[in-house]
Amino acid sequence: MSLNAASEKGSDQTIDDFNTPEDKALLRKIDLRLLPILTLLYLLSFLDRTNIGNAKIVGLTTDLKVSPPQYNTALALYFIAYVIFEVPANIILKRFDPQIWLPTLTLFWGIVSICQGLITNKAGLFGIRFLLGVAEAGLFPGVIYVFSVYYRRHERSWRVAIFFGGSALAGAFGGILAYAIGKMHGIGGRTGWEWIFILEGILTVAIAFLAYFIVPTWSHRAKFLTEAEKKRLFQRLNADSDAALIERFEWVYVRQALTDHLVWGYAFLFHGFAFVLYSLSLFLPTIIAGLGFQSWQAQLMTVPPNSVAAISIWITVWVSSRINLRAPFIIGAAGVAIVGYIILLTTKTPGAQYVGTIFAAAGIYTGNALLLSWPGENVSAQTKRAVAVAMQITIGDIGAIAGVLIYRPSLNAHRFRTPHIIAIGYLLWLSFGRFIPLYLDETRK
């Protein structure tokens, strides 16, 4: 069946009617346009927000005379800005154009990242971390929303997983990059940690300019699709959700999102996972160095946990999408993360404890990847969905603020024993206790 012929059919088509060879070709075309560039932007975003962990163990806090509590404050300021500006950023996206908005955000935070390498005191560190949070706040919820106007609901989770896998790859890539750049210490009169920020920021700026020519606009104006392909795309979306509608912005949809208890349920569930995601990703080099390894070893040893996490994401989410279930796999991922923390807490040798970081990373990243596609699949009305996605990330990142503050110097005895126990508590309470209404709502339309 051709796309032209398919688009002539009525609205009584079944899901199988949208799984023709022509539909698969259309999806491949969309995937090739969206996934590589958007995943790359998120990889850069995660790299530029977490490379401070790599910079810390090569002298950032010493050179700037930043005490351990002040370092934690700098980390928290990033997430405070992120929380404040996420929902407004997605409202702007709905009224603007992702082809301009997303690359502009990337350019902005790339410049800010370069400036991180130019600061000379703790006041500069505090200000630049807040500004970085402002710049990066709109990317993740914006991309999730863009996915919702190109893919049907059951098609999104796998794409979100590929996209979110960029965060794990950023951790792996960042460790190798930090190790290599750290050897530039003294070149141009700058330290290794300054070069980490400057060079990685320059990379982001370069990709941002390229992104203006690649990031797609809204589906109804997409020039990379033919008219027949767009007509088929809208038919596929209309049969599954409201994603193909050209919906005007109305504040009533914002109120609907704010008063939907299930939207809040998704948000609080991510709150627990964000706590462990960012505390682990930001402190992983420090945790590994605390096991007795040298700083250069710790940089390289962040690669295996993040690489395993990326593989775990893609395998688990592929299986989840095949059987169209999320909740059992998220619960399982939380269980794997808990096992990782227990290994960290109970074993005595550095090798065994390092294995614990691998389990923790695999469970944490996989659970987040599965969870983050849920509101985009189950919330109807475009503006409500945009706000719901932003709310999920916003409230979730309040958990990130708690995570970076709890992993503070006064609680780092016995290799962060108390923060690890609190992380287990977060996973147990939010991942299991909050799951009952969401699990029952697994197939909500």
pLDDT tens-digit series, residues 360-411? 999 999 998 888 777 666 666 667 777 777 788 778 888 899 999 998 877 8
Length of the chain: 445
For 11, other C-beta atoms within 10 Å of its C-beta total: 7
Asked if residue 18 has pLDDT above 50, the reply is yes
Higher local confidence (pLDDT), 79 or 384: 79
pLDDT mean over 29-50: 95
Q: Categorize the per-residue pLDDT at 31 as very low, low, confident or very high, splitting at 50, 70 and 90.
A: very high
Domain ranges of the chain: 19-438
**CA atoms of 133 and 400, how far apart (whole Å):** 12
Q: What is the pLDDT of residue 445?
A: 41
Name the more confident of 88 and 378.
88
Per-residue pLDDT band for 103 (boundaries 50, 70, 90) equals: very high
d(CA 169, CA 351): 23
Residue 425 CA to residue 397 CA, distance in Å, equals 17
pLDDT 10s digits, 303-356: 999 999 999 998 998 898 888 788 888 889 999 999 999 999 999 899 999 999
Q: Which of 25-29, 86-90, 419-423 has the lowest mean pLDDT?
A: 86-90
Report residue 134 as tokens.
Answer: 């402002």
What lies within 8 Å, CB to CB, of 282 at 6+ separation is: 50, 52, 53, 75, 404, 407
Task: State the sign of the Cα–Cα–Cα–Cα dihedral 394, 398, 403, 408.
Answer: positive
Q: How far is the first Cα of the chain from the last one, in angstroms, to the nearest whole number?
A: 29
Q: Is the pLDDT of residue 441 over 80?
A: no
Contact 200, 73 (CB under 8 A): no
Amino acid present at 433: G
- pLDDT of 428: 85
**Beta carbons within 8 Å of 24's beta carbon, 6+ residues apart:** none
Both tokens assigned to 155: 């098609």
54 to each of 165, 193, 374, how far by Cα in Å? 20, 8, 32
Say which residue, 391 or 74, is predicted with more confidence.
74
Mean pLDDT of 415-443: 73
More confident residue, 367 or 245: 367
pLDDT of 343: 96
pLDDT of residue 1: 44
Q: Which residue has the higher pLDDT, 297 or 360?
A: 360
In order, the DSSP letters of 14-63 are: -GGGG-SHHHHHHHHHHHHHHHHHHHHHHHHHHHHHHHHHHHHTTTHHHH
- pLDDT at 129 > cutoff 90: yes
Give the percent of the chain with pLDDT over 90: 47
Look at residue 338 in the predicted model and tell me its pLDDT: 95
pLDDT for the residue numbered 377: 67
- Using DSSP, state whether 314 is helix, strand or coil: helix
User: Quick check: helix, strand or coil at residue 347?
Assistant: coil
pTM for the whole structure: 0.84
Confidence at residue 434, expressed as pLDDT on a 0 to 100 scale: 54
Span 76-86, mean pLDDT?
90
Highest mean pLDDT among 172-176, 271-275, 302-306, 391-395: 302-306
- φ/ψ region of 222 (left if φ > 0, alpha if ψ in -120 to 50, else beta) reads beta
Q: Is the pLDDT of residue 273 over 50?
A: yes
pLDDT given at position 431? 62
pLDDT at 110: 97
> Mean per-residue pLDDT for 193-204?
96
- pLDDT band for position 6 (cuts 50, 70, 90): very low
| 346 class by beta-carbon count within 10 Å (0-12 exposed, 13-18 middle, 19+ buried) | exposed
What proportion of the chain, given as a percentage, has pLDDT over 70? 88
Lowest-pLDDT range of 19-28, 123-132, 152-161, 293-302: 152-161
CATH fourth-level superfamily of 19-438: MFS general substrate transporter like domains (1.20.1250.20)
228: CB partners within 8 A, 6+ apart = 2, 3, 4, 7
